[in-house]
Amino acid sequence: MKAPLSLMASAVALSLLAAPAHAADWSDTAISYRYGTDFSEPGIARDVRKNILGLTHVSGFKYGSNFFNVDILASDKADPANNSTAGAQEVYVVYANQLHYSKITGNKIAFGPVTDFAWQTGFDLNSKDTAFAPRVRKLITGPVVKFGGALGWADLGVLLYKEKNHNGIVGKDVDFKPTYRIAAAWGLTFDAGPVPLKFNGFANYTGKKGKDGFGNETDPETWADAFLMVDVGKLTTGKKDTFLAGVGYELVKGKFGSQHGSTGSLTRTPMIKAEWHL
Task: Tally the domains of the chain.
Answer: 1
Mean pLDDT of 216-240: 97
The runs of H, that is alpha helices, within 26-159 are 101-105
Q: What is the CATH number of the domain that holds 158?
A: 2.40.230.20
For the whole model, what pTM was predicted? 0.91
Strand partners, 252: 223, 267
pLDDT tens-digit series, residues 13-53: 444 444 444 578 999 999 999 999 999 999 999 999 999 99
Q: What are phi and psi of 142, to 5 degrees?
A: 155, 180
Domain range for 19 is 2-277
Residue 55 has a pLDDT of 98
Show the beta-strand stretches assigned E in 20-113. Answer: 26-39, 48-61, 64-75, 89-100
pLDDT tens-digit series, residues 144-191: 999 999 999 999 999 999 999 999 999 999 999 999 999 999 999 999
